[in-house]
A and B are shown apart, each in its own frame.
Chain A
Amino acid sequence: MAPMAIREGENAFERTLGVLDMIYEFPDLLTDDELEGVAKYVNPDIRNTALGLFELPSARNTEVLFVKKVIDILREAQRAQAEGKKVVFIPFTFPPEIIFAFENLFPVCTEVIAGLAVNVLGGQGERFWDFAMGMGLPDSLCTANTMTVGSFLMGPGLKPDAIVSNSPGSCNPNAKIHAFAADYLGIPQFILEKPTDDSERGRELYFTYLSRLIGDLEEFAGEELSEQRLREVVLKSSKAADLYSEFWELRKAKPCPVPNIFNANILFLRSQMWGREEAIELLEDMVALSRERLKNGEYTAPEEVARVYISYIFALFDLHGFFTWMEKKGISILGDILAIHFFPPVDTSSKESMIRWLSKVAFDYPMTRQMGASEISLQWLEDIGYAVKDLDADCCVYIGHHACKHTAGSLTFLRRELMKQTKVPTLTLVGDSFDKRHTPMSMIQEEIDLFVNKVVSKKRKAPRRRKKTTSRA
């Protein structure tokens, strides 16, 4: 293969951080005028990121704080190698707290890098995907992971020292691109396979695999996992989980008091910051703000028109076009597949009990739980059905992605059974969370608008039919 053209400064991580640094100069309380200035100043490709994060006054201060914390942790990742730590890439289906428990390791979530590149860089990271395609990789891979890998193969800057992949068992494309990156970069790959076995036997095997992974990471990091450090991380993770549960409860209120953009914040926090104090601080801030909105009956639109559950993943390439647009329309986004967490009660009595706890968290981690289940379609249905019922959603929107062969092959079943079980209709769209070239946001908006107006709002307004009573003769 021909040598790659490496151009200075094109690594997504470095470039993203460079652009984000600008936000550090923002005042904590951003005025409308200042926001207007920012929107005019930034590259047009990312104007909707600025507007998506900061336009709605109710969440603006929280979002400024959020972005500053994001920058802090990225800077920490950037410094990690110089400070003698090893940078470990993880996917967003892997609990980062496991890596944070090591003194000498620092996790960087691959999907987070792609998400930042898409939302912060001019060109929205498309060049990194194109570069990967230029290497001959198939175009049916996961955009997020492929973009990140493309970026790291393309340009100088932060390079991972290892990759932890927990996709084997639950996702072919991701497991494969991780293996490819490890091979290409010549770095170790540590695997945590998800047995597609929901029985106790499968769970026990997973615990064995995780224990083995921790042993391998200990060797790689050159340190024994400290029980004390692990306890600190587990307690922080558990505290964040409690706050997350509060969020879930708050989302049940009508109208939903949680700003739509918080869905994206939480996804970032869970993927990159869980197990850290910063995640708790931000969650506390977001919970407090949502509680306040609930107390005051605050809602962005005149009324809540629809409560939507995204049965796969949000469209993340246009924060304003997706989250803010729906919020202004009175469409509350209640979550996506990545928002369905099952946190068991924590037990910090011993190192083993904590690893067992982490094993349960990781086994039931979003997407790992559904796509790595004994029966993918049933588990997906059960979990989306649970979210829909618990949060009283009116409808689901599925924005399918070419990489996810599981959901593509189970959608007919999900849509049909969800309708039968919950009377909730599903809008099916083909798109890509990270690459606008598949389906532009204007088209996603048009479809959702039509669906909400023609199907959902009519359903909400329709008088409930009385159940017929039958008498037995």
Chain B
Amino acid sequence: MSASTGIQEQAAIMTDYVAGWKDNGGKVLAYACVATPVEILEAAGLLPYRLKALGNPDTYLADGELSLLNCSFCRSCLQLGMDGTYDFLDGLIETNGCDHMRVMFENWQRVKEPDFFHYLKVPHFFRDDSLEYFEGELELLRDAISEHFSVEVSDEDLLGAMKTQNEVRSKYRELCSLREREKPVVTGSEVLALVVNGSSVRAGDYLEELSRFVEERKDATGETPGARLMLCGAATDEVVWFGEIERMGGLIVADAQCFGARAFCQEYDLDGNPIHTLAVSYLSNLYCPRMYTEYTKRRDFILDTAKRANVEGVIVLYNKFCDLHGVDAVLLRRDLAEEGIPVLILEKEYSAKADIGRVRTRIQAFMEKIGGGA
């Protein structure tokens, strides 16, 4: 299937591409966490759709099931599930990314009773025993999808999907290198918009769009940004926030977010058992604070990226009540400061417009501190 995937479409939950896919009888299976191996869904001929809220500020239905102590991104997604926006989905895959996400999925399942619901359990550390279990989980996911959607997902199909993902991720990395240049030719907002949009398009179809974008930009001439920033923290699909930061004179030249660089650091060796390869690759490349014993690995990933992109300041952005990122942020601030990289920790509510003024002031002050900005 081929369809327009222009990055402007990211502003919609139901894009033309998704609508076209559905019109042609295609099935859409949603997931929320980067620990979900989309290759299994691709190999089954499904459209993997990463749940997003795209800045939806309403949570009034979700608040009846969840609580104000739950992450506002999860509440916002649940709202869209409950108000019918996501009724086009043919199923959901839950993962235990965090406590908020778990209760979001449980409530969604209960309220909407999707035709297909599968819980993919992802261990919190990478070791031989947890890896073996995760491999089993991926087999169970493959079986569940095969049975429900009446498709066979062979190893060959999987290897094919993995090969395509290798190409897409490689292209994403190339895209990121364009913003890491001394005079970047891509903005952080553009990268986020591409990643967000790409998370609801089949990999093969999106590769073409992504390649075209990279080709258009790679020979362009950029400008020296006011301040070279890196964005870390919790999952966010709020392109508006990236834009807000960049309008103040900073440029997000690097990130370590799961709607971003953390989502495409894997590269598969296509020689082995595909399920084993997927399990190893996903479990060992999460760079997420849910992996409790891997702080050092995450810190090094961030430091390496920051140094490579010649970053002048790091912004750690997360939603209120996100304990995972909130605690990591304290350690990151300590360790990055030791390396001479200033850190701004920014706790906010998802899509809260009232927050914008406060956040803008803090970012401006940070820019002044690091000597950048308009």
Contacts and interface: CB of A to CB of B under 8 A. Distances in A.
A183 B295 contact: yes
B323 A172 contact: yes
B129 to A, nearest CB: 5
Interface string B117-146: 001010111000110010010000000000
Residue among A137, A141, A410 with most chain B CB within 10 A: A410
B289 A176 contact: yes
B351 to A, nearest CB: 19
A193 B107 contact: no
A172 B324 contact: yes
B323 A374 contact: no
A135 interface: yes
Interface in B164-180: none
A192 to B, nearest CB: 11
B292 A175 contact: yes
Given A137-B330, A212-B129, A376 B106 contact: yes
Contact of A196 (B96, B107, B289): B96
Given A138-B326, A172-B98, A413-B65, A408 B106 contact: no
Contacts of A411: 67
Contact of B124 (A168, A180, A205, A371): A168
A409 B104 contact: yes
B361 to A, nearest CB: 19
B337 interface: yes
Contacts of A197: 121
Interface in A201-216: 201-202, 205, 208-209, 212
A412 B98 CA distance: 20
A168 B106 contact: no
A220 to B, nearest CB: 15
Contact of B136 (A136, A169, A201, A377): A201
Nearest to A168: B124
B244 interface: no
Interface string B354-365: 000000000000
A180 B323 contact: no
A86 to B, nearest CB: 19
Contact of A177 (B103, B321, B327): B327
Interface string A145-180: 000000000000000000001001101110111111
Contacts of B107: 377, 409-410, 413
13 contacts: A136-B333, A141-B327, A169-B124, A176-B324, A176-B328, A183-B331, A196-B96, A201-B133, A400-B69, A405-B69, A406-B103, A408-B66, A413-B65
Interface of B: 64-67, 69-71, 96, 98-100, 102-104, 106-107, 110, 119, 121, 123-125, 129-130, 133, 136, 289-290, 292-293, 295, 320-324, 326-331, 333-334, 337, 345, 347
Given A141-B323, A173-B99, 9 more contacts: A180-B327, A180-B331, A183-B331, A191-B125, A196-B96, A205-B133, A376-B106, A377-B103, A410-B107
